[in-house]
A and B are shown apart, each in its own frame.
Chain A
Amino acid sequence: MSSSPVTVLVVDDELEILRAVRMGLVAQGYNVIVAERGDKALERFDAHSPALVILDVMMPGDLDGLDVCREIRTRGDVPIIILSARSGESQKVAALDMGADDYLTKPFGMDEMLARVRAALRRAPANKGQDLTSFVTGDLSVDYLRRVVTKSGEEVKLTKLEYEILNYLTRNADRVITHRQLLSAVWGPEYSEDTQLLRVHVGHLRQKIEDVPARPKLIVTEPAVGYRFRLS
Chain B
Amino acid sequence: MDSVEQIGKVAKARSRRVEVVGLCWSLTAVALATFCFWCLRNYLDKGQASLLYLPVVIACAVRFGFSSAVVGAFVSFLCWDFFFLQPVFTFVVDDVRNWLSLIVFLIAAIVTSRLASQAKEQADAARAREDEIRTLYKASESLSREIRADHILPSLAEQLVNLSSATYVIILHRIDDRWDVAACMPSSVTLPEAQKKLIRQISQVACEHDQVIGTTGNEFHWRRAIDDLLGPSHEPVGLYVPLHTEKGMVGVLHAGPRRGGGAFSALEEQLVLTLSNHAATVIARQELAAQAAQAAALKEADTLKDALLSLVSHELRSPLAAIKVSASNLRGADSKLDETLREEALAAIDIESDRLTRLVSNLLDLSRLEAGAWRPQKDWCDMTDVVATVLDRLEPTQADRVDVVASADLPLIRADFVQIALVASNLIENALKYSTPSTPITVMLSRFDDVGLLMKVDNIGDPVEGSEQQAIFDRFYRGKSHQNSTVHGTGLGLALCRAIVIAHEGVIFLTNTKTGPSFTVRLPIGAVAK
Contacts and interface: CB of A to CB of B under 8 A. Distances in A.
B529 interface: yes
Contacts of A199: 380-382, 385, 412
Contact of A223 (B350, B399, B418, B529): B418
Nearest to B443: A214
A146 interface: no
A210 B377 CA distance: 29
Given A109-B350, A214-B384, A214-B404, A200 B418 contact: no
A195 B388 contact: no
A89 B377 contact: yes
A195 B380 contact: yes
Nearest to B365: A86
Contacts of B418: 89, 223-224
Interface string A50-94: 000000000000000000000000000000000000110110000
A223 B417 contact: yes
Contacts of A87: 364, 368, 374
Interface string B366-406: 00100000100101111011011101100000010000101
B176 to A, nearest CB: 42
Contacts, number: 56
Contacts of A107: 353, 357
B421 interface: yes
A220 interface: yes
Contacts of A224: 377, 379, 416-418
B381 A216 contact: no
Nearest to A213: B384
Interface string A202-230: 01000000000011100011011000000
B528 to A, nearest CB: 11
A21 to B, nearest CB: 16
A28 interface: no
A214 B388 contact: yes
A130 B382 CA distance: 31
Nearest to A216: B388
A2 interface: no
Contacts of A89: 377, 418
A221 B404 contact: no
B382 A203 contact: yes
Given A220-B392, A223-B418, A223-B421, A195 B385 contact: no
Nearest to A220: B392
B361 interface: yes
B530 interface: yes
Given A195-B379, A195-B380, A221 B361 contact: no
A223 B374 CA distance: 16
A223 B387 CA distance: 11
Given A214-B388, A221-B389, A224-B379, 17 more contacts: A87-B364, A87-B368, A90-B377, A107-B357, A109-B350, A195-B379, A195-B380, A196-B380, A198-B380, A199-B385, A199-B412, A200-B412, A200-B530, A214-B387, A220-B392, A221-B385, A221-B388
Interface of A: 86-87, 89-90, 107, 109, 195-196, 198-200, 203, 214-216, 220-221, 223-224
6 contacts: A86-B364, A90-B377, A109-B350, A196-B412, A215-B388, A224-B377
